[in-house]
């Protein structure tokens, strides 16, 4: 089997599994919406305040629902032995991991980015600003998926690791949050915002290059 | 060099070496800290602007410098442990992590004590403060990851991977935070430039910086030796030492 056909098949498999287990795929999205709803309720229905907070809320909701989704990234394949079989099959390990990252991003991150449209009615965000937020969220969710792949691979065999995920993921996400915040800030003042978004894209490409290697190492370590 | 280093891959020899290091560096660190602190806190001239509160610098600066230095050495040790599969280096990574976290916490705590009279606030979201805070979380992550495994060896290796990833990330975090800060507020905090400090204040500071390094080495060697005994607790040489 050639590498590209393996890549496509593995992604197809993840989609089929997600189609069977719909609840797992829906839960992070529901969580995302719930976090967004929390803010108007706690802050109060004041429109100007909410629209200032909107982009930050979108990012926080994305990270929190990623923390819900990420522990499942490798857990099932690890437990039922599929991962070990594939690792023995001679396909490069980082390719296996990369296909999982891509399918995870398509299945879990992309719906969240679409759902962030709810910020427009709920937090009275401008549609123009939302389109900038979507750009940062698209790139940022690639980064989150990559770093989260490493974290969830490290924790895949540990029973007590639930709370540790946040501690591993959030400090590493700080740079992307800063650049996303800078882009949103610039867009709010109608200044050019291409520079921070380009840096964000560079960070995403960098992590997409490094993360599969580190993730494969971490998975191999857990297989013993 | 490898011929010379080779015997120390044996846990027994490494244990003896680390104890010898600890015996050498511990008195050095204590003497240096006593001299540096008394010199700095009592005899050094007061700062013309900040009066006596600037004296906290003699504790704050060494802790802050070595909080970053420890992370670097931890990352390098973790990298070597992963590449050459050296078990002893894995243990050394775990020996360093809590010490680095303690240095970071001391730097943050003394910094906020210093900040209250000088800046009028305990905390500002300044670049240095933020990256130091994130460093503290990175240290905690390394240790929490180790603790979350039942199998110590797997946990140690996972901690090494995280230490290496953190080492790649520390410069990115540092520069992004710096950029974020300059975007939001102008440079308002005076930085400690080496040439701009009077020699009468520089000397106690240098003594303290060196002796905190000695303290770090001594603590690491002690923790390393203890962890080694625990990891090898079923071996004969450990039983002999413990039986004594």
Q: What is the ipTM of this complex?
A: 0.84
A122 vs A129: CA distance, rounded Å? 14
B208, containing H or E segment = helix B199-231
CB contacts, 8 Å: B138 with chain A: 171
On whether any CB of chain A is under 8 Å from the CB of B140, the answer is yes
Whose structure tokens read 């007590």? Answer: A160
The predicted pLDDT at position B48 comes to: 62
**In this complex, is the C-beta atom of B157 within 8 Å of any C-beta atom belonging to chain A?**
yes
CB contacts, 8 Å: B154 with chain A = 157, 221-222, 224
Band (pLDDT 50/70/90 cuts) for residue B194 is very low
Place of tokens 């009615």: A121
CB A187 within 8 A of CB A130: no
Q: Which residue of B has its CA nearest to A173?
A: B173
CB contact under 8 A, B180 and A203: no
Average pLDDT over residues B121-127: 78
Mean pLDDT of the residues in chain A: 89
- Looking at per-residue pLDDT, the higher value among B198 and A14 belongs to A14
Segment A157-175 mean pLDDT: 83
Which of the residues A143, A159, A175 would you substitute to probe the B interface, choosing the one with the greatest number of B C-beta atoms within 10 Å? A175
Q: With a CB-CB cutoff of 8 Å, which residues 76-105 of chain B face chain A?
A: 82
Confidence label for A189 from pLDDT (cuts 50, 70 and 90): confident
**Rounded-to-integer distance, Cα B180 and Cα B126, Å:** 9
Task: Dump strand ranges (E) for chain A.
Answer: none
Question: Is the CB of B133 inside 8 Å of chain A's CB atoms?
Answer: no
Q: pLDDT for B51-98, tens place per residue?
A: 677 778 888 888 888 888 899 999 999 999 988 888 888 899 999 999
Indicate yes or no: CB of B154 within 8 angstroms of CB of A221: yes
Q: What is the DSSP string of B16-51?
A: HHHHHHHHHHHHHHHHHHHHHHHIIIIISPPBTTTB
> Are A171 and B138 in contact (CB < 8 Å)?
yes
pLDDT in tens, A79-131: 888 888 888 888 888 999 999 999 999 999 999 999 999 888 888 888 888 99
pLDDT of residue B181: 65
pLDDT digits (tens, 9 = 90+) for A62-74: 999 999 888 888 8
Domain boundaries along the sequence of chain A: 3-223
Rounded to a whole number of angstroms, the distance from the CA of A5 to the nearest CA of chain B is: 31
Distance from CA of B134 to the nearest CA of A (A): 6
Q: Quick one: tokens of B67?
A: 């909080």
Contact (CB<8Å) A168/B141: yes
B43 has pLDDT over 50: yes
């Amino acid at each position: 089997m050639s590498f590209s056909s393996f890549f496509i098949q593995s992604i197809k498999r993840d989609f089929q599994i997600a189609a069977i287990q719909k609840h797992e795929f829906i839960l992070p999205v529901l969580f995302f919406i719930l976090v967004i709803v929390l803010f108007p309720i706690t802050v109060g229905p004041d429109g100007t305040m909410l629209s200032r907070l909107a982009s930050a809320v979108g990012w926080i909701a994305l990270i929190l629902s990623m923390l819900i989704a990420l522990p499942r990234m490798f857990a099932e394949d690890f437990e039922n032995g599929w991962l070990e079989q594939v690792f023995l099959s001679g396909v490069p390990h980082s390719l296996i991991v990369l296909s999982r990252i891509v399918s995870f991003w398509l299945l879990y991150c992309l719906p969240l980015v679409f759902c962030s449209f709810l910020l427009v009615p709920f937090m009275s965000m401008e549609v123009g600003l939302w389109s900038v937020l979507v750009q940062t969220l698209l790139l940022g969710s690639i980064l989150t998926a990559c770093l989260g792949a490493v974290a969830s691979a490290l924790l895949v065999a540990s029973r007590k690791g639930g709370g540790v995920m946040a501690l591993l993921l959030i400090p590493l996400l700080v740079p992307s949050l800063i650049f996303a915040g800078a882009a949103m800030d610039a867009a709010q003042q109608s200044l050019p915002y291409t520079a921070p978004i380009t840096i964000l894209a560079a960070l995403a490409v960098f992590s997409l290059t490094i993360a599969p290697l580190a993730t494969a190492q971490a998975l191999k370590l857990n297989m013993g | 060099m490898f011929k010379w280093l080779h015997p120390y891959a044996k846990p027994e020899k490494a244990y003896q070496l680390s104890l010898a290091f600890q015996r050498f560096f511990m008195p050095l660190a204590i003497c240096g800290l006593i001299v540096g602190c008394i010199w700095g806190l009592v005899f050094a001239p007061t700062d013309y602007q900040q009066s006596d509160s600037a004296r906290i610098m003699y504790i704050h600066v060494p802790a802050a410098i070595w909080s970053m230095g420890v992370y670097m050495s931890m990352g390098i040790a973790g990298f070597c442990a992963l590449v050459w599969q050296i078990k002893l280096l894995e243990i050394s990574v775990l020996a360093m992590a809590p010490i680095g976290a303690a240095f970071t916490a001391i730097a943050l705590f003394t910094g906020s004590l210093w900040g209250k009279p000088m800046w009028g606030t305990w905390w500002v979201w300044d670049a240095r403060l933020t990256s130091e805070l994130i460093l503290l979380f990175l240290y905690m992550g390394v240790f929490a990851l180790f603790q979350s495994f039942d199998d110590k060896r797997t946990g140690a290796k996972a901690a090494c991977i995280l230490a290496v990833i953190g080492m790649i990330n520390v410069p990115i975090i540092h520069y992004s935070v710096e950029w974020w800060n300059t975007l939001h507020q102008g440079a308002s905090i005076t930085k400690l430039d080496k040439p701009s400090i009077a020699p009468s204040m520089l000397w106690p500071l240098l003594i303290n910086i060196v002796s905190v390094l000695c303290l770090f080495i001594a603590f690491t060697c002690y923790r390393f030796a203890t962890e080694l005994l625990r990891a090898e607790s079923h071996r004969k040489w450990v039983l002999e030492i413990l039986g004594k």
